Amino acid sequence: QVQLVESGGGLVQAGGSLRLSCAASGRTFSSYAMGWFRQAPGKEREFVAAISWSGGSTVYADSVKGRFTISRDNAKNTVYLQMNSLKPDDTALYYCAAALRPVTGLRSGYDYWGQGTQVTVSS
């Protein structure tokens, strides 16, 4: 069992930056691939980024490639999402998730989910 708690969301102007954090409970954090997803009002939850258990492999959605960076610190049981050059279209509730399988962008591939942290980007 893994519990995930996101933080770091907030209100930022277009062009600004935010860093999201996801703290995980449990001793087996390093066994999980980790992902970030987001859901805007009236839209489906969509994949943002994912990282393998070792941090050696990362995957990004085309919409965030070059602007967002996912990383992890297994000693701190934490995964991060650095978001730069934010756009109003990035406004959403951001969720972190854990998967007991190789890094994947598929929502169905994740076993545990956090409650989300809100990111709002003003124009």
Average pLDDT, the chain: 95
Q: For residue 62, what are the contacts with CB-CB under 8 A and spacing of at least 6?
A: none
Within 13 Å of residue 40, how many CA atoms lie on the same side as its CB? 10
Distance CA 103, CA 123 (A): 33
Q: Which has the higher per-residue pLDDT, 26 or 67? A: 67
pLDDT for res 1: 82
Question: Helix (H) and strand (E) counts for the chain?
Answer: 0, 11
Judge whether residue 94 has pLDDT over 90. Answer: yes
Q: Which has the higher per-residue pLDDT, 28 or 15? A: 15
